Amino acid sequence: MKKTLILGASSNPERYAYKATVKLAQHGHEVVPVGLKSGNIEGYEILINNPIVVDIDTVTLYVGPKNQPIYYDYILNQIHPKRIIFNPGTENSELEKLANEQGIETEVACTLVLLSLGEY
């Protein structure tokens, strides 16, 4: 299964990033939650300070567009995933363009919906 980095992870069970982490794991995907604060999502440690993680297939974004520029280098050059999913509210044409220029596929979609449809 694909290794997914959840950017904007939160230990709050009401947050979509939390729900996506749980659902991805339930579907057999390896999850790497990354957030601003350390914490835990049902046994998965939330990593902080832009950890270097290798072999990431997908970055699924839960960070709003105005807070994304500080992550551009991290996503594009350090992680360099095969795909970035822009969840509702995270759409960002600038980051999409930069990613596409580096051969990274982008998708504006909801991770939870993709999983429920079997299209993740």
Domain locations along the chain: 3-116
The Cα 6–Cα 66 span in angstroms is 18
Fold for domain 3-116?
Rossmann fold (3.40.50)
Please indicate, yes or no, whether the overall pTM of this predicted structure exceeds 0.95: yes
C-alpha torsion 49→73→25→43, nearest 10: 0
pLDDT in tens, 33-48: 999 999 999 999 999 9
CA-based Rg of the chain, rounded to a whole angstrom?
13
Q: What percent of the chain has pLDDT over 70?
A: 100
- Per residue in 57-111, pLDDT tens? 999 999 999 999 999 999 999 999 999 999 999 999 999 999 999 999 999 999 9
